[in-house]
């Protein structure tokens, strides 16, 4: 298996070997951007709808088959969640820097994680994300789930993520500034939990906040990371499955103001 060379310590996800097709964005115009989008987005000169559909097509080719997830990915303007200077690369299957040594996860990784929560069962209703970052994944989750809660530990990113979600109209997403390793007990239990940063082990507080039959997906490890899918099968038992190799930024405790 070959994996794409990491860009640095803040690279947020590898994809499997068979997924080396690149999307080329060229000869573009802004007509596909809905008038309700902020002026900044309209001026990007991106045919963003075409680029998004190409991104979804590539996700299909690389094994993502959950139509709800694909539709959700098709509906969120990823370019509106990254810096203007990176917007032309927003629909590549790449992790992109979002400042503070963090990255927005690559689309394939977002789609893989959300599919793992949904596949073979009823779509979970109430889902928690650890690591809001720029807010992109929370926006995709908003398109899939009834209730979305998200926690970020870096104050500046918490503010940016919240602003993006508000501006893009995802106002029902509930954001919290704090240490996501502790979960969000007030709103527990959750039918699903998505962790967007890699720890050496899954925090017990998160396992405890899973509803019965609820699923958690998280990257685990330091240099050698894998996605881990956990399902709560009884009040005291969790079933665990190890999925693909990935690379995420670290899950850290405490907050950064």
Token couple for 193? 């939990």
CA 107 to chain CA mean position, Å = 8
| By CB under 6 A, residue 136 contacts ligand SAH | yes
Residue 34 burial class via C-beta count within 10 angstroms: exposed 0-12, middle 13-18, buried 19 and up: exposed
Q: Nearer to ligand SAH by C-beta: 30 or 178? A: 178
Which among 32, 48, 257, 19 is positioned nearest to 154, based on CA atoms?
A: 257
In 41-107, the DSSP E strands lie at: 96-99, 102-104
| By CB under 6 A, residue 12 contacts ligand SAH | yes
Token couple for 39? 């002026």
Q: Nearer to ligand SAH by C-beta: 117 or 197? A: 197
Q: Which of 48, 105, 115, 175 is catalytic?
A: 105
Instruction: Give yes or no: 36 in active site.
Output: no
| By CB under 6 A, residue 219 contacts ligand SAH | no
Which among 23, 162, 32 is positioned nearest to 91, based on CA atoms?
A: 23
| By CB under 6 A, residue 160 contacts ligand SAH | no
Interface segment toward ligand SAH; rule CB under 6 A; list 24-32, 141-149, 183-191, 247-255? 247-255
From residue 94 to residue 133, what is the string marking binding to ligand SAH with x (rule CB under 6 A)? ----x---xxxx------------------------xx-x
In 46-112, the DSSP E strands lie at: 96-99, 102-104
Interface residue list for ligand SAH (CB under 6 A) = 12, 98, 102-105, 130-131, 133-134, 136-137, 151-154, 157, 179-181, 196-197, 249, 251-253
Catalytic residues: 105
């Amino acid at each position: 298996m070959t994996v794409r060379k990491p860009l640095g310590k803040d690279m947020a996800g590898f994809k499997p070997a068979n997924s080396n097709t690149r999307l080329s964005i060229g000869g573009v115009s802004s007509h596909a951007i809905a008038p309700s989008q902020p002026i900044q987005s309209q001026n990007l000169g991106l045919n963003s709808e075409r680029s998004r559909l190409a991104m979804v097509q590539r996700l299909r080719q690389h094994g993502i088959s959950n139509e709800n997830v694909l539709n959700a990915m098709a509906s969120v303007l990823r370019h509106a969640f990254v810096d203007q200077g990176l917007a032309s690369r927003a629909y590549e299957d790449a992790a992109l820097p979002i400042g503070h040594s963090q990255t927005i996860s690559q689309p394939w990784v977002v789609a893989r994680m959300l599919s793992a929560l949904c596949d073979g069962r009823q779509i979970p209703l109430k889902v928690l994300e650890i690591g809001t970052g720029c807010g992109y994944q929370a926006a995709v989750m908003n398109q899939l789930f009834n209730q979305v809660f998200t926690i970020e530990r870096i104050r500046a990113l918490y503010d940016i993520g919240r602003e993006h979600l508000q501006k893009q109209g995802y106002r029902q997403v509930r954001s919290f500034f704090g240490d996501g390793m502790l979960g969000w007990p007030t709103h527990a239990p959750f039918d699903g939990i998505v962790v967007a940063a890699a720890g050496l082990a899954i925090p017990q507080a998160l396992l405890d906040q899973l509803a019965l039959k609820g699923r958690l997906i998280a990257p685990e490890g330091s240099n050698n990371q894998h996605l881990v899918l956990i399902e709560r099968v009884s009040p005291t038992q969790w079933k665990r499955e190890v999925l693909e190799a990935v690379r995420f930024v670290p899950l850290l405790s405490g907050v950064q103001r």
